[in-house]
Structure 1
Amino acid sequence: MQLLQYITQQTQFSSKSVENTISLLNEDATIPFISRYRKEMTGNLDEVEIGEIVKFKEAFETLEKRKKSILKALEEQAVLTPALTEKVNNSTDLISLEDLYLPFKKKRKTKAETARLQGLEPLAKMIMSQRVNDLEFTASKYIKNDVETLEAAIEGARYIIAEWINERTDIRNNIRLELERFATISSKVIKSKKDDEKAQKFKDYFDWNESLNKIPSHRFLAILRAENEGFIRIKIEVDSERLLQRIENRIIRTQNECSAQIEFAIKDAFKRLLYPSLSNERLSLAKERADNDAILVFSKNLKQLLLGAPLGEKRVLAIDPGFRSGCKIVCLNELGELMHNETVFPHEPQNKKIEAIQKISSLAEAYKIDAIAIGNGTASRETEQLVKKIQFKNTVDVFVVSEAGASIYSASKIARDEFPNYDVTVRGSVSIGRRLQDPLAELVKIDAKSIGVGQYQHDVDQTKLKKSLDATVESCVNTIGVNINTASESLLSYVSGIGPKLAENIVNYRNKNGSFSSRNDIKKVPRLGGKAFEQAAGFLRIKNGKNPLDDSAVHPESYALVDKIAKDNKIKVADLIGKSDLIKQINLKNYITETIGLPTLTDIVKELEKPGLDPREKAKVFSFDATIKTISDLRIGQLLPGIVNNITNFGCFVDIGIKESGLIHVSNLSDTFVKDVNTIVSLQQQIIAKVLEVDVVRKRIQLALIK
């Protein structure tokens, strides 16, 4: 099977779309570039669909690599035949491929291999023929050397038969099907760990049983974690008797001494070889499915967080609140540059509230502050209440900002390079302030796993997780576009075609030569060649540049087309931009060429109407209920304002202004069935929730979504 055929079968996309996409990928084109600027070639495939092609392309390449390895091994063993070669080449998945290779795979010393070395394989073949009339007499001929008894000879033959049964593809597939449809996963607490304090969070799984095919990913991962931490034992179970009967029906054709031995061999093969191997395989597939579900949740959450509402280019006073160590304050200008920092001590034990109020007030006036960002960690509520008592001379909005991962950033090399003369407390406060100005620009500096939006991120396949999260960040960065004259090295590294090294070169060039005045200037950056420019240019923005199109998503390759449109309408390009009425009258069909069709033309005119438009909403001021300070203040039936701070497959968690987040279970999100939590709520959404249940001892809060 060829790559094109394989992908079209898996995706059901048109052959032409897949072929062109593969061609672009082989030319090192990125997913954002292909989906945005090569719509005619792909048949208007979006990023998700192109991502599917990439996934199956990689799967096919992995499969082909394994085929070559197996064919080479079979050839070296001198067992490769034309028929076997054809079977290997026609395999469409790794499981069936490995089944083909299993009989020839070099094994460690097994019971069957020992029996073969003792010369018992002919006896095994005779038993399998089921035509031996006097088994004891026939087996007695093999009593020699290490085979000292009749029982040892027959037992050795059974080991060989058991291995043959284990290697039969039809039998393995039958068991696989049974496991897929009917297997259950059960868990039991390890008695010595039952009262362990750490084990209590897994109490629900001390005696649990559920269909392996239907178990939700979050529960499956929780059970695996409980097992890994040594609190429970898990078991995969299926109707073994029914499977054994099916295997016997496939093999046993007579009722004699041979069939009795084959029956013993079948039970041995099932218990010792088939079931341990295939149940583990099924468990691995279930883990892979759970990983994929959890990674998808994480990616969705990350996307929502990265595309969170920015305040924009406003002056921000950011506070990293604390009690004993004080509140770290920084003042940032419109570009997020540090102008001032100091520490105040308004809370216990110092209680210097008046001094703190005076200091914050004077800083807000001196640095012309537009907004205050307060981290949502320790002492956040107390600090928020203090700040809201201040009578500022000008309007100053107050925001509570998630500080998840801020400590990771503040201790990172990126932070040290940005602020070599300041300690981690100042860097952390800067990160909080910048998150309010532009969440995307700041959060790309932090390992996505440290942001804490997802479920069981440490339990899933870390390579897959990183790959998915990197793709999510890349998609978000290129969706919004990047101001090349202000963007950090971290942000630039995610632009299509750039990467870390070119991002470093861009920043170094900018520091040495000043701001870029046109997209053409980008070509002067060392080692940034034509291919990188093609991939990146449409996603890089230049504010107030020579060409107004440089601050838009119109790719430079289409500038000549826009010039023609403007010329046909007898105006300049600058005068065409933003003229919605005029733009809507343009007959796009007049500008279709061999390489530019309606999809690209439609994108261009949309961009001309609102060039460089940021699709994100603007940040909104939010206030928690001031009367709720701890979990003990909660009462069933209360309606509370909250912010969604995490989304999982089983519901969402809500920050209601106290240390503990409340859970809105999926069943309490709507009066109707909810398949995907993300269709009801989004990360950082401001909601009203009703208190359903409060468990002060376990620190758990159950909520219901009101609006």
Structure 2
Amino acid sequence: MSLISFIISQTQLPESSIKNTLELLNEDCTIPFISRYRKEHTGNLDEVQIGDIVKYKEQFESLEKRKVAILKALEEQGVLTEALKQKLEATQDLVSLEDLYLPYKKSRKTKAETARLHGLEPLAKIIMSQNANDLESIAFKYLKGEVASVDDALEGARHIISEWINERTDVRNNIRYQLERFATISTKVVKTKKDSEDAQKFRDYFDWDESLSRIPSHRLLAILRAQSEGFIKLKIEIDDDKALSKIEDKIIRSNNACADQITLAIKDAYKRLLLPSLSNEALQNAKEKADADAITIFAKNLKQLLLGSPLGEKRVLAIDPGFRSGCKVVCLDAQGVLLYNETIYPHPPKSDQIGAIKKISSLTEAYKIEAIAIGNGTASRETEAFIRKIHFKNDVQVFVVSEAGASIYSASKIARDEFPNYDVTVRGSVSIGRRLQDPLAELVKIDAKSIGVGQYQHDVDQTKLKKELDTVVESCVNAVGVNINTASTSLLSYVSGIGPKLAENIVAYRDAHGAFTSREAIKKVPRLGDKAFEQGAAFLRIKEAKNPLDDSAVHPESYAIVENMATDLGKSVTELIGNKELLKKIDLKRYCTPSVGLLTLEDIIKELEKPGLDIREQAKVFTFNQNIKTISDLREGQLLPGIVNNITAFGCFVDIGIKESGLIHVSNLSDSFVKDVNEHVSLHQQIIVKVLEVDIPRKRIQLKLHN
């Protein structure tokens, strides 16, 4: 099977779209570039579809690589027949490939191998023929050396037969089918650890059983974590009698002593070889599916977080709140540059509210502060209440900002390089302020796993998680676009075609030569060649450039088209931009070429209507119920404002302004069936919730979405 045929079988996408997309990928084009600027080539495939092509291309290449290795190994062993070669080459998945290779794998010394060394393979073949009448007499002929009795000879022969049964693809696939459809996962608590404090969070799974095919991803990952930490033991089980009967039906065709020996060998193969191996495989498959579900949820959450509402270029005073150590205050200009830092102590034990009010008031006036960002960690509510007491001369908006991952950033090399003369507390406050100004620009500096939106992110396949999250970050950065004259190295590194090294070169060139005044000037950056420029230029924006298209998503390769449109209308490009009436008059078919079709031209018109428009909504002020300060203040039936701060497969968590987040279980999101939590809520969405239940000892709050 060819690569294109394989991808078609997995995606059902048109052959021409796949073929053209593969050609672009082989030319080192990125997914954001292909989906945005090569729509005619791909047949208007979106990022997800192009991502699927990349995924299945990698799967196919991995499969082909394994085939080559197996064929080489079999050839070296001298066992590669033409029939076996054809079977291997026709195989379309790794499981079937490994099953075909299983009989030829060089493994540690097995019971079957020992029996062969004792010369018992001919006896095993006689038994499998099922024609022998006096089996004991036949077995007696094989007594030699360590084979001291007929029972020893028959046992050795059974070990060989067990191995043969284990290697049969039809037998393995039948048990796989039963495991896939009917397996249960059951758990038992480790009694010696049952009462430990750490075990209590897993107590729901101390004695649990459930269908393996139906267990939700979050529950399976929780059970596997409990097992890895030694609190429970788990088993994968199916109906053994049914499984054995299925194998016997495939193999036994007589009713004599041979059949009796084969029955014993089947039981041995099943218990010792097949079930342990295939139940582990089934558990691993379930784990991979749970990983995929968890990674998908994490990716959706991360996308929503990265595309969170920015305040924009406003002067911000940011506060990292605290009690004993005080509140760390920083003042940032509209571009996020640190202007001033200070520590105030409005809370116990110092309780210097008067001094703190004077300081905040003077800083707000001195630096013309337009907004205040307060971290949502320890002392957040108290600090917010304190700030709201201050009467500012000008209108100052107050926001509570998520601190998730801020401590990771403040101790990172990126933060140390950016602020070598400041400690982690100042860096953390800067991060909080910048998150309000532009969440995307700041959050790209942090390892996405540390942001803490999702479920069991440390338990899933870390390579797959990183790859998926990097794809999400790249997609978000390119969807928004980047101001090349203010962007950090971290942000620039995610721009299509740029990467970490070129990002460093861009910043170094900018520091040495000043701001870029045109997209054409980007070509002067060392090592930034034509391919990198082609892939990245349209995602890099130049504010107040001579050519207004340099601050738009119009690709430089299409500038001539826009200039022709303007000339045909008797206008300049500047007059054309934002003039919807003029743009409506353009007959796009006049500008079609073999490489530029209506899809691209329609995108150009949309961009000219609102050039450089930020796809994100602007940040809005939100206020919690000021009467709710601790979990003890909650009562069933209360309606409260809240902000969604995490989304999982089983529901979403909501910040209602106290230390503990409340859970809206998936069943309480709607009166109808909920297939996907994200269809009902989004991360950082401001909602109204109803308190259903408060469990103070366990610090659990059950909520319902109030419509």
Q: Which residue of 1 aligns with 2:637?
A: 637
Question: In the aligned structure 2, how far is the partner of 1:77 from the partner of 1:149?
Answer: 34
| 1:234-245 correspondence runs (5 A) | 234-245=234-245
1:277, CA displacement in angstroms? 0.5
Q: Which residue of 1 aligns with 2:28?
A: 28
Q: Which residue of 2 aligns with 1:513?
A: 513
Q: Which residue of 1 aligns with 2:102?
A: 102
Question: In the aligned structure 2, how far is the partner of 1:116 from the partner of 1:582?
Answer: 87
Question: In the aligned structure 2, how far is the partner of 1:678 from the partner of 1:277?
Answer: 37
Question: In the aligned structure 1, how far is the partner of 2:227 from the partner of 2:584?
Answer: 62
Question: In the aligned structure 1, how far is the partner of 2:348 from the partner of 2:177?
Answer: 64
Question: In the aligned structure 2, how far is the partner of 1:184 from the partner of 1:414?
Answer: 48
Name the aligned partner's letter for residue 471 of structure 1: T
Q: Which residue of 1 aligns with 2:343?
A: 343
Question: After superposition, what is the alpha-carbon deviation per residue over 1:326-355, rounded to whole angstroms, capped at 9, x for unaligned?
Answer: 000000000000010000000010000010
Q: Which residue of 1 aligns with 2:75?
A: 75
Q: Which residue of 1 aligns with 2:19?
A: 19
Gaps of 5+ in 1: none
Name the aligned partner's letter for residue 91 of structure 1: T
Name the aligned partner's letter for residue 605 of structure 1: I
Task: Give the share of equivalent positions with the same residue, in percent.
Answer: 74
In the alignment, structure 1 residue 456 sits paired with structure 2 residue 456: yes
Task: Report the 3-state secondary structure (helix = DSSP H, G, I; strand = E; otherwise coil) of the residue aligned with 1:689.
Answer: strand
Name the aligned partner's letter for residue 269 of structure 1: A
1:166, CA displacement in angstroms? 0.3
Name the aligned partner's letter for residue 401 of structure 2: V
Q: Which residue of 1 aligns with 2:93?
A: 93
Q: Which residue of 2 aligns with 1:301?
A: 301
In the alignment, structure 1 residue 499 sits paired with structure 2 residue 499: yes
1:619, CA displacement in angstroms? 0.4
Name the aligned partner's letter for residue 621 of structure 1: V
1:228, CA displacement in angstroms? 0.7
Q: Which residue of 2 aligns with 1:364?
A: 364
Q: Which residue of 1 aligns with 2:470?
A: 470
Over aligned residues, Cα RMSD in angstroms?
A: 0.6
Q: Which residue of 1 aligns with 2:403?
A: 403
Q: Which residue of 2 aligns with 1:566?
A: 566
TM-score by length of 1: 1.00
Task: Report the 3-state secondary structure (helix = DSSP H, G, I; strand = E; otherwise coil) of the residue aligned with 1:186.
Answer: strand
Q: Which residue of 1 aligns with 2:378?
A: 378
Name the aligned partner's letter for residue 39 of structure 1: K
| 1:190-339 correspondence runs (5 A) | 190-339=190-339
Question: In the aligned structure 2, how far is the partner of 1:686 from the partner of 1:354?
Answer: 33
1:79, CA displacement in angstroms? 0.5
Task: Report the 3-state secondary structure (helix = DSSP H, G, I; strand = E; otherwise coil) of the residue aligned with 2:549.
Answer: helix
1:539, CA displacement in angstroms? 0.4
Question: In the aligned structure 2, how far is the partner of 1:695 from the partner of 1:259?
Answer: 62
In the alignment, structure 1 residue 120 sits paired with structure 2 residue 120: yes
Question: After superposition, what is the alpha-carbon deviation per residue over 1:79-113, rounded to whole angstroms, capped at 9, x for unaligned?
Answer: 01111111111010000000000010111100000
Name the aligned partner's letter for residue 150 of structure 1: V
1:375, CA displacement in angstroms? 0.2
In the alignment, structure 1 residue 480 sits paired with structure 2 residue 480: yes
Q: Which residue of 2 aligns with 1:675?
A: 675
Name the aligned partner's letter for residue 11 of structure 1: T
Task: Report the 3-state secondary structure (helix = DSSP H, G, I; strand = E; otherwise coil) of the residue aligned with 2:399.
Answer: strand
Question: After superposition, what is the alpha-carbon deviation per residue over 1:266-306, rounded to whole angstroms, capped at 9, x for unaligned?
Answer: 00000000010000000000000000000000000000000
Question: In the aligned structure 2, how far is the partner of 1:20 from the partner of 1:6?
Answer: 15
Name segments (4+ residues, structure 1) moved above 6 Å.
none
1:195, CA displacement in angstroms? 1.3
In the alignment, structure 1 residue 598 sits paired with structure 2 residue 594: no
Question: In the aligned structure 2, how far is the partner of 1:245 from the partner of 1:650?
Answer: 39
Question: In the aligned structure 1, how far is the partner of 2:199 from the partner of 2:494?
Answer: 41
Task: Report the 3-state secondary structure (helix = DSSP H, G, I; strand = E; otherwise coil) of the residue aligned with 1:606.
Answer: helix
Q: Which residue of 1 aligns with 2:420?
A: 420
Name the aligned partner's letter for residue 667 of structure 1: S
Q: Which residue of 1 aligns with 2:703?
A: 703
Q: Which residue of 1 aligns with 2:538?
A: 538
Task: Report the 3-state secondary structure (helix = DSSP H, G, I; strand = E; otherwise coil) of the residue aligned with 2:642.
Answer: strand
Question: In the aligned structure 1, how far is the partner of 2:665 from the partner of 2:14?
Answer: 40
1:581, CA displacement in angstroms? 1.2
1:197, CA displacement in angstroms? 1.4
Task: Report the 3-state secondary structure (helix = DSSP H, G, I; strand = E; otherwise coil) of the residue aligned with 1:476.
Answer: helix
Question: In the aligned structure 2, how far is the partner of 1:561 from the partner of 1:490?
Answer: 33
1:551, CA displacement in angstroms? 0.4
Question: In the aligned structure 1, how far is the partner of 2:550 from the partner of 2:264?
Answer: 77
Question: After superposition, what is the alpha-carbon deviation per residue over 1:128-167, rounded to whole angstroms, capped at 9, x for unaligned?
Answer: 0001111011111100122111111110000000000000
Task: Report the 3-state secondary structure (helix = DSSP H, G, I; strand = E; otherwise coil) of the residue aligned with 1:654.
Answer: strand
Task: Report the 3-state secondary structure (helix = DSSP H, G, I; strand = E; otherwise coil) of the residue aligned with 2:233.
Answer: strand
1:673, CA displacement in angstroms? 0.7
Q: Which residue of 1 aligns with 2:64?
A: 64
TM-score by length of 2: 1.00
Moved more, 377-386 or 194-203: 194-203
Task: Report the 3-state secondary structure (helix = DSSP H, G, I; strand = E; otherwise coil) of the residue aligned with 2:487.
Answer: coil
Name the aligned partner's letter for residue 220 of structure 1: L
Gaps of 5+ in 2: none
Q: Which residue of 1 aligns with 2:146?
A: 146
Question: In the aligned structure 2, how far is the partner of 1:280 from the partner of 1:29?
Answer: 40
Question: In the aligned structure 2, how far is the partner of 1:195 from the partner of 1:512?
Answer: 63
Task: Report the 3-state secondary structure (helix = DSSP H, G, I; strand = E; otherwise coil) of the residue aligned with 1:394.
Answer: coil
Question: In the aligned structure 2, how far is the partner of 1:581 from the partner of 1:186?
Answer: 67
Count of residues in correspondence between the two structures? 707
Task: Report the 3-state secondary structure (helix = DSSP H, G, I; strand = E; otherwise coil) of the residue aligned with 2:694.
Answer: strand
Q: Which residue of 2 aligns with 1:352?
A: 352
Name the aligned partner's letter for residue 517 of structure 1: T
Task: Report the 3-state secondary structure (helix = DSSP H, G, I; strand = E; otherwise coil) of the residue aligned with 2:210.
Answer: strand
1:585, CA displacement in angstroms? 2.1
Task: Report the 3-state secondary structure (helix = DSSP H, G, I; strand = E; otherwise coil) of the residue aligned with 2:620.
Answer: coil
Name the aligned partner's letter for residue 101 of structure 2: Y
Name the aligned partner's letter for residue 129 of structure 2: S
| 1:547-558 correspondence runs (5 A) | 547-558=547-558
Name the aligned partner's letter for residue 256 of structure 1: N
Task: Report the 3-state secondary structure (helix = DSSP H, G, I; strand = E; otherwise coil) of the residue aligned with 2:310.
Answer: coil
1:229, CA displacement in angstroms? 0.8
Question: In the aligned structure 1, how far is the partner of 2:600 from the partner of 2:213?
Answer: 44
Task: Report the 3-state secondary structure (helix = DSSP H, G, I; strand = E; otherwise coil) of the residue aligned with 1:162.
Answer: helix
